[in-house]
Amino acid sequence: MKTMKILKYKLIALGMGMMCACSDMLDEELYSQMAPENFLTTQEGMKSTLDAAYAEGYLNGYSHHSVRNIEEWCTDIEWETGGGENRTAVLMIDFTWDASVGWMYGDMWLKPYRAIRNANVVLENVEAANIGDELKQTYAAEARFVRALSYYYLHSWFGPVPLRQSPDDEIYLARPSEEDMRQFIESELLAVIPSLPAPGEEQAYGRATNGGARALLTKFYLNTKQWQKAADMAQEVMDMGDYSLYPDYAMLFRVENERNSEFILAYPQIANSPGNNYINGAFPEGFANDPKTGLTFLTSWRNWAAQYRLYDSFYNSFEEGDARMDLIIDSYINGQGNTVSLLNNNNTRSLKYWPDPNGLGNEHGNDVPGVRYSDILLSRAEALNELNGPNQTSIDLINMVRERAELDPLELSDFTSTVQLRKHLLNERAWEFYTEGKRREDQIRMGTFVSSAIDRGVTNAKPTHVLFPIPQAALDANEMLVQNDGY
């Protein structure tokens, strides 16, 4: 190992805020007393640097909050008013965002690239570390997974971005072709599956597993419209036998039910920083309690000026009796004891991330789902429909999800065309994944992202909006970067 590389990167894990997500996951440790020339030769040094990669790659805490909101506010499910966030929300709602949006640079560009940097440091130094061969293989596979995950997100938001694969890369790198970008993400995920632990055998909850890699690859194939590969990889996940639908949708997202068999890829959170803070914006103004759900506001929680509101068109789209509506409130009792209606004003609220009884201030311990098993079922159903049109397998997969929602099963005869079943799948995914940050990618994939915005009155929405702009600060730092069309 080169001493200069150790000196160059020894502070990465120390300075990156090695954010943990539960008590036994990605534990933060201090290594300031370790000699720099020894830091990356030890298991502690390797783990610390890998932990830093996870913390950045999983977009923990406020960064995930920023990303989720950006992914939702430009869709037909959610909008926002009030608080400091409204400056960004207005840009997303009105499709007037540009390369200066701070969240896009700090949370959606810098954090993934920091994860990539830290993963590359692990990969550059792991072979020379004084650890066993099996652990070397695991750490290398985990680092490649986090790197691929980060590129997966970057590609989803910005299209092809510079592929940094080594700490020794040139400072200025050009954007690769779409084909090269896709090939890299796919090949990396395929390569690590044999070396990653099986579900339940990972060193700590939240770390990468071979199931998580397969699930992420399923979503990558789906979003890039590689239908046969998406269908096949989804089947591989199903055939593992490690995952299933949690029986009660309303309880699925509660803190006490984390580590369930439905969360294939989970981003763990804790009841202090970094935590899940969505609920703070979901509480209506002056919220005291909700008789429908039995929720009573605790003084240890926060009710933000930022207000996350659902569109009436989405709320009214649910089928009667859909149990997934149980986590959406349409009225509440305020601090004065008055009942306040949220209906007919684009103002119903998602309580999907049910507040943590032990939550402190802005932070709650609800894990953030990256990929759920229901997503795998619906992904295979969608891919098979795109390949073959309406078919019984797709209907059966959708009905597995609908059964938990306490809805009547669909019949194959209900659908006479690929387009008709695609439209239903778009609705089914909205009902299943609302406020999980999935809607933008679903609308883009199914071709409704721009047309839906225009239907909402956003007349300046254009096809080029399916990609976000490369942040201006990134362009300024790399003379070889080229901006996306339309910006």
Residues 160 and 284 in one domain: no
Token representation of residue 226: 């590689």
Structural domain contains residue 443: no
How many folded domains does the chain comprise?
2
Query: Domain of 134: which CATH number?
Result: 1.25.40.390
| 195 lies in the same domain as 309 | no
Do 203 and 305 fall into the same domain?
Answer: no
Q: Tell me 349's DSSP state.
A: E
- Give the domain-ending residue among 321, 351, 369: 369
Report the residue count for the chain.
Answer: 487
Residue 449 maps to a domain: no
Q: Are residues 100 and 191 in the same domain?
A: yes
Q: Do 202 and 278 fall within a single domain? A: no
Q: Which stretches within 74-195 are classed as H helix? A: 86-93, 102-105, 111-125, 133-158, 178-192
Question: Do residues 156 and 276 both lie within one domain?
Answer: no
Q: Which of 312, 340, 369 is the last residue of a domain?
A: 369
Question: Which pLDDT does position 27 carry in this prediction?
Answer: 41
Are residues 435 and 278 in contact, defined by beta-carbon separation less than 8 angstroms? yes
Q: Cα separation of 16 and 57, whole Å?
A: 12
What pLDDT, on the 0 to 100 scale, is given for residue 12?
Answer: 39
- Peptide bond preceding 357: is omega within 30 degrees of 0, i.e. cis? no
Residue 383 token pair: 């891919």
Asked, for residue 397, whether it belongs to a domain, the answer is: no
Contact 377, 400 (CB under 8 A): yes
Range of the domain at 62: 3-208+469-477
Whether residue 281 sits in one domain with residue 172: no
pLDDT of residue 38: 82
Q: Are residues 191 and 282 in the same domain?
A: no
- Please report the pLDDT score of residue 61 as a whole number: 76
Q: How far apart are CA 302 and CA 279, in angstroms?
A: 9
Burial 212-249 (b: 16+ CB within 10 A, else e): bbbbbbbbbbbbbebbebbbebbbbbbebebbebbeeb
Specify if 350 maps to a domain.
Answer: yes
User: Which mean pLDDT values do the consecutive 10-residue runs of the chain (487 residues) have?
Assistant: 38 37 40 59 96 95 93 99 98 99 98 98 96 98 99 99 97 98 99 98 97 99 99 99 98 97 97 91 98 96 98 99 98 98 98 96 95 99 99 99 99 99 99 99 99 98 99 98 98
| Torsional sign, CA 279, 284, 288, 289 | negative
Domain check: are 202 and 313 in the same one?
no
Domain boundary, last residue among 315, 336, 369: 369
Residue 458 β-bridge partners: none
How far does CA 393 lie from the centroid of its chain? 27
Short-list 457, 471, 467, CA closest to 156: 467
